[in-house]
Amino acid sequence: MKKILLLILITLTLSAEVKVGDTVNNFTLPYLYDTSKVVSLKTNAGKVTLVNLWASWCSGCKEEMPHFVSLQKKYKKSEFRIILSSVDKKKSKSIKFLNKVDKDKTLLALYDKEKILPKEYRAMGMPSSYLLDENLKIIKIFTGSLDDDAMGELESTINKLLGK
């Protein structure tokens, strides 16, 4: 009986996705533009951080990207940081797209070829964005492309967390 209960517990644990209030683990991923450089979440996180899982083949991801660029420009990187994690099979596709919408490399773009983050977070959609506080605790999860309302909600949450 104990074994069966243990089996049920393991099954449920395996299928559990991250939720608001959970603390995410620190991760290190290669920098998209130069994969010889490795970037860690902890050392690059701002007081508030948005981790965005995206791919160049995902139309919703591409739609929201210009909004992220303009949102990042409103804040100092020490306050608020957007970290992109591309799950493209070929990083050249991600770079080609980002070169169009983010010429100044405003967003910190990482390359997750092995899809480590979406597997760990059990992302239920593409794109998926996770708003974290300075302790890497998940404050909000956005599944799917952020529309104007969601962007407004995101911005007000950031301001609230920054005490603005």
Identify the sign of the CA torsion 84, 130, 151, 56: positive
Q: Decide if residue 20 touches other proteins (CB under 8 A).
A: no
Site mask for other proteins (CB under 8 A), range 128-147, x = bound: x-------------------
**Does 13 engage in binding with other proteins (CB under 8 A)?**
no
Name which of 110 and 161 has its Cβ closer to other proteins. Answer: 110
Residue 46: which of 73, 81, 75 has the closest Cα? 81
Binder to other proteins among 37, 76, 77, 89 (CB under 8 A)?
A: 89
User: Whose Cβ is closer to other proteins: residue 8's or residue 20's?
Assistant: 8
Euclidean distance between the first and the last CA atom of the chain, given in angstroms as a whole number: 54
CA–chain centroid gap for 6, Å, is: 32
**Residue 95: which residues within 8 A CB-CB, separation 6 or more?**
32, 33
Residues that bind other proteins (CB under 8 A): 1, 4, 7-8, 11, 14-15, 17, 53, 55, 57-59, 87-89, 115, 118-119, 122-126, 128
